[in-house]
Homo-oligomer: A and B are copies of this chain.
């Protein structure tokens, strides 16, 4: 029986999603909770890994078990999970459903605040930028990323990928409640792609880069080195076929 999970987590105190011996990861905590709830050892597969410090509001994962807890999966797993991981939804899925390979589109949000002083309350939840950013200019230039492009310049080494071509279906930058929020949706993301796009857009907001600088990095054998910090990044949602 295949179970599909929708998961929220606070990435602050995790060494990322993926199992690493001796380290606290989201995957290990989930697999431990599943074993406690069902008595079975299961391998949990996510829509994609997230790095240390990256948060999720709507990560999706699946696992296979024999034990049928009916509608009680979410409650049983939340009972055993630490409070910084919560199952939002758990449901039976078709055997053909695969959290990673069936994913059609993903949306990340990157949250920035402008301040000269670090915030005690936003610590590990948003990225501080000194000085004011021009958010409307960031939004205009962001449109350069939209469409099917070779994003090789916006990838850190370490991607397990055969192609660096991805399609960004939507990107938007807006001010909301004192924050600047970058929302980016694509059919898939390369390693550190969102954080490199965020770093580029922060430079745009400071007037250090423009539209042409972005187009000159796309579809080229180029490298854009800056990577914005993990703490501002949220995996917002994962969309699947037939949804």
Interface positions of A (Cβ within 8 A of B): 8-10, 55, 57, 74, 78, 83-88, 117-121, 123, 125, 176-177
Contacts and interface: CB of A to CB of B under 8 A. Distances in A.
B120 A10 contact: yes
26 contacts: A8-B119, A8-B120, A8-B121, A9-B120, A9-B121, A10-B120, A10-B121, A10-B123, A55-B121, A57-B121, A74-B117, A78-B117, A78-B118, A83-B118, A83-B120, A83-B123, A84-B120, A84-B123, A85-B120, A86-B117, A86-B119, A86-B120, A87-B117, A88-B117, A121-B125, A177-B177
Number of copies: 2
Contacts of A57: 121
A4 to B, nearest CB: 16
A83 B9 CA distance: 21
B86 A118 contact: yes
Q: Which 5 A-B pairs have the closest CB atoms?
A: A86-B120, A8-B120, A10-B120, A10-B121, A9-B120
A72 to B, nearest CB: 14
A207 to B, nearest CB: 26
Contacts of A119: 8, 86
A86 B10 CA distance: 22
A174 to B, nearest CB: 13
Given A78-B118, A86-B117, A88-B117, 6 more contacts: A55-B121, A74-B117, A78-B117, A83-B123, A121-B125, A177-B177
